[in-house]
C-alpha cells in the first residue's frame, strides 16, 4: 500500500521476530535471549543498544562451519560493531578481524584478538598505523594503491621487518546494493583496477621488505544475492592464473565481506548457500580463504531500544518523536534503509492503529528512524528497532550535543553493561574555555 508515493509498512511483530534468533514475545512482552526488554529499559534507560551473545556466536560459527572443508580464517569486520566486549566474544571463539584504522587495531588488541589473525584494509593507512601493525605481526596488509605499497615497503625497511601484503583488486562487479556501500566498481574509491593489478604485483615482487601473500577483493555490503561473489571470484581467478604465469604465487585469497541480512522482508542467501556456491572454485585453487563478514554476524544480533517522547499527529502527517535519533542510528537517514520498528509490549494500550513517522528530536528534516509505519502508539511506549547490531552505535555521533547511548550484552541470561551512557558533561571533557 502507498500514499503520496511512499510505501506504508504494516509489520506483524510476531511474524517479524520469527526470523531473528533469540527475539520473541512471551506473554505479549518482547524478550531477547530470554531477557525481558522492558526490564532492560527500566534498568538502563533508553536509547540503549542490546546485543545477544548467542546470536553473534551462532553466525560466526555458521561461517566457520560452512567453510570447514578448506583452510580458512573468518575475520570479523570491526567497522560493523567495535565494542571491545563484542570483539572479545568473537576473539575467544577463534575469529580473526578485518580492520581499517589504527584505532580499530588498538580495539582488537585490547579485546584479546590475535595479531596473526588480523587483516588491515582501508585506504588511509598512516606510517604510525603500519609501524604498529608490523611490530605486532599482523597477517596481511590489503593494499589499496601503488603509493601505499611504497609506503609499507619504506616503513618495513626502517623497522627491518618483512611486510605481508595482498592487493585489493577492484573487479568492476556490480554488487546491486546501495551506491554508498558498493565498493567494487571502477568509479569507487577502493582498490586497484583489475587491469592494473599485474603491473603493481610486479612492482611488489621487486620491492624490498615486501612479501606477496595474497589477493583481496571486496565488492560491497548488504549483498542479498550470492551471484555477484561468483562473478567477482571468476575475475580474481583469472588474475591469479595470470600472476602464476608471471612467476607470482599466492598463499591466500580474500573475498571480503558483504553477505546481507533480512531487515524486514528481504530475500537473502544463507551462509551455507553462499558457501556451497563458491566452495568448488575455491577448493580447486588450493589457497587459504579469508572472509571479512560483519553485518551478517551482528546486525540481527542487536536491537535499539527507544521510547516515545511526544506524539504529534497533524493533518498531513503523524509524527512520533522518540528519544533515539539520527545521531544514534543514522542508517535510515544516510542509506534510506528500512528497519523494523516493533512494540516491546503487545498489550492493548487503548490507541487506534495509525500511520506514523518515527523521528528524533534533532533539528534536521532527515532525522528519522522509520517512515509510514502502522503502529498503535501511546505516551512513553517502548519500541525496539531490529537489525541494529551492525552499523548502529559505530556510526553514532554527538550531533546537537546529544550523549551517545549505552550498550548492553546478554550472555548466558545475564545482562552486562558494556558501555556506559555518555553524560552531557562528558561531551566537553577535552574542551577548554578561554
Give domain status of residue 353, yes or no.
Answer: yes
Radius of gyration of the chain (CA): 23
- 140 and 159 in a single domain? The answer is yes
Full DSSP string of 276-299: HHHHHHHHHHT-EEEE---HHHHG
Cell of 317: 502527517
Name the grid cell of 240: 591469479
pLDDT of residue 191: 80
Phi, psi of 389 (to 5 degrees): -75, -15
Read off the pLDDT band of 189 (50, 70, 90): low
287 in the same domain as 307? no
| Residues 418-431, mean pLDDT to the nearest whole number | 97
Confidence of residue 174 (pLDDT cuts 50, 70, 90): low
Q: Of 180, 202, 184, whose CA–CA distance to 193 is shortest?
A: 184
What is the pairing mode between strands 29-32 and 35-36?
A: antiparallel
How large is the average pLDDT for residues 188-195? 75
Task: Check whether 329 has a pLDDT greater than 70.
Answer: yes
At 71, the pLDDT band (50, 70, 90 cuts) reads very high
* Overall average pLDDT of the 171-181 stretch: 52
Percent of the chain having pLDDT more than 70? 94
The burial of 105, by beta-carbon neighbours within 10 Å (0-12 exposed, 13-18 middle, 19 or more buried), is given as: buried
Q: Which range of residues forms the domain containing residue 379?
A: 2-52+299-428
More confident residue, 82 or 229: 82
Domain boundary among 293, 324, 349: 293
pLDDT confidence of residue 91: 98
- CA 50, CA 410: separation in Å to the nearest integer? 7
pLDDT value at residue 422: 98
Structure pTM? 0.94
Q: Tell me the CATH number at 351.
A: 2.40.37.10
What's the rounded mean pLDDT across residues 23-41?
98
Residue percentage of the chain with pLDDT more than 90 = 85
Q: Do 183 and 89 share a structural domain?
A: yes
Note whether 305 and 260 are same-domain residues: no
Same domain, 304 and 267: no
384 and 265, same structural domain?
A: no
pLDDT at 209: 98
- 8 Å CB contact between 108 and 130: no
Which residues does the annotation mark as catalytic? 363
Taking only the tens place, the pLDDT of each residue in 349-358 is 889 999 999 9
Considering the domain architecture, whether residues 80 and 147 belong to the same structural domain is answered as yes
pLDDT value at residue 190: 63
Q: How many domains does the chain have?
A: 2
Read off the pLDDT of residues 390-421 as tens digits, 9 standing for 90 and up: 999 999 999 999 999 999 999 999 999 999 99
> Where is 234: in which H helix or E strand?
helix 227-245
* Residue 59, pLDDT score: 97
With respect to residue 217, please indicate whether it lies within any of the assigned structural domains: yes
Domain end: 266, 293, 320, which one?
A: 293
> Quick check: 181 pLDDT over 70?
no
pLDDT at 180: 38
What's the mean pLDDT in 178-195? 58
Residues 99 and 174 in one domain: yes
For 210-237, what is the mean pLDDT? 87
Last residue of a domain, one of 237, 265, 293: 293
- 120 and 38 co-located in one domain: no
- Please check whether residue 393 lies inside any domain of the structure: yes
**Which tens digit of pLDDT belongs to each residue from 274-322?**
999 999 999 999 999 999 999 999 999 999 999 999 999 999 999 999 9
| Whole-number pLDDT of residue 3 | 39
Tell me the per-residue pLDDT of 240-258, one tens digit each, with 9 for 90 and over. 999 999 999 999 999 998 7
CATH of the domain at 179: 3.20.20.10
Are residue 213 and residue 351 in the same domain, yes or no? no
Are the C-beta atoms of residues 129 and 105 closer than 8 Å to each other? yes
pLDDT(186) > 70 = no
Helix (H) or strand (E) holding 93: none
Query: Is 116 in the same domain as 221?
Result: yes
- Cα separation of 192 and 256, whole Å? 15
Arithmetic mean of pLDDT over the chain: 93
Does residue 344 belong to any structural domain of this protein? yes
Q: Is a pLDDT exceeding 60 seen at residue 1?
A: no
Residues 380 and 233 in one domain: no
Amino acid at each position: 500500500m502507498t500514499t503520496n508515493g511512499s510505501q506504508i509498512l504494516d509489520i506483524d511483530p510476531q511474524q517479524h521476530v520469527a526470523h531473528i534468533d533469540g527475539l520473541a514475545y512471551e506473554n505479549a512482552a518482547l524478550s531477547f535471549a530470554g531477557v525481558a526488554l522492558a526490564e532492560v529499559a527500566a534498568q538502563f534507560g533508553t536509547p540503549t543498544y542490546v546485543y545477544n551473545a548467542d546470536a553473534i556466536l551462532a553466525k560466526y560459527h555458521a561461517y566457520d562451519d560452512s567453510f570447514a572443508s578448506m583452510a580458512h580464517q573468518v575475520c570479523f569486520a570491526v567497522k560493523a560493531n567495535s565494542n571491545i566486549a563484542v570483539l572479545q566474544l568473537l576473539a575467544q571463539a577463534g575469529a580473526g578481524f578485518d580492520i581499517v584504522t589504527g584505532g580499530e587495531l588498538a580495539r582488537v588488541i585490547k579485546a584479546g584478538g590475535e595479531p596473526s589473525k588480523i587483516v588491515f584494509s582501508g585506504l588511509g593507512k598512516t606510517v604510525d598505523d603500519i609501524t604498529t601493525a608490523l611490530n605486532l605481526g599482523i597477517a596481511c596488509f590489503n593494499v589499496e594503491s601503488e603509493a601505499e605499497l611504497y609506503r609499507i615497503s619504506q616503513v618495513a625497511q626502517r623497522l627491518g621487518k618483512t611486510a605481508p601484503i595482498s592487493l585489493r583488486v577492484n573487479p568492476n562487479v556490480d554488487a546491486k546494493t546501495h551506491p554508498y556501500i558498493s565498493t567494487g566498481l571502477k568509479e569507487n574509491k577502493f582498490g586497484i583496477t583489475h587491469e592494473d593489478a599485474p603491473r603493481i604485483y610486479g612492482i611488489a615482487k621487486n620491492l624490498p621488505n615486501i612479501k606477496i601473500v595474497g589477493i583481496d577483493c571486496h565488492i560491497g555490503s548488504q549483498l542479498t544475492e550470492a551471484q555477484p561473489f561468483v562473478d567477482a571470484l571468476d575475475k580474481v581467478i583469472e588474475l591469479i592464473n595470470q600472476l602464476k604465469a608471471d612467476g607470482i604465487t599466492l598463499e591466500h585469497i580474500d573475498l571480503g565481506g558483504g553477505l546481507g541480512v533480512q531487515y524486514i522482508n528481504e530475500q537473502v542467501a544463507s551462509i551455507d548457500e553462499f558457501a556451497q556456491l563458491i566452495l568448488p572454485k575455491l577448493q580447486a585453487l588450493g589457497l587459504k580463504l579469508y572472509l571479512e563478514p560483519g553485518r551478517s554476524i551482528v546486525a540481527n544480533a542487536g536491537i535499539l531500544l527507544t521510547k516515545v517522547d511526544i506524539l504529534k499527529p497533524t493533518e498531513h502527517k503523524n509524527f512520533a518523536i522518540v528519544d533515539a535519533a539520527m545521531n544514534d542510528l543514522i542508517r535510515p537517514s544516510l542509506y534510506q534503509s528500512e528497519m523494523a520498528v516493533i512494540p516491546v509490549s503487545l498489550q492493548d494500550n487503548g490507541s487506534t492503529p495509525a500511520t506514523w513517522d518515527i523521528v528524533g528530536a534533532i533539528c534536521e528534516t532527515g532525522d528519522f528512524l522509520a517512515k509510514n509505519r502502522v503502529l498503535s502508539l501511546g505516551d512513553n511506549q517502548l519500541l525496539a528497532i531490529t537489525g541494529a547490531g551492525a552499523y548502529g552505535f559505530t556510526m553514532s555521533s554527538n550531533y546537537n550535543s546529544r550523549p551517545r547511548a549505552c550498550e548492553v550484552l546478554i550472555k548466558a541470561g545475564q545482562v552486562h553493561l558494556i558501555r556506559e551512557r555518555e553524560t552531557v558533561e562528558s561531551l566537553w571533557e577535552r574542551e577548554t574555555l578561554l
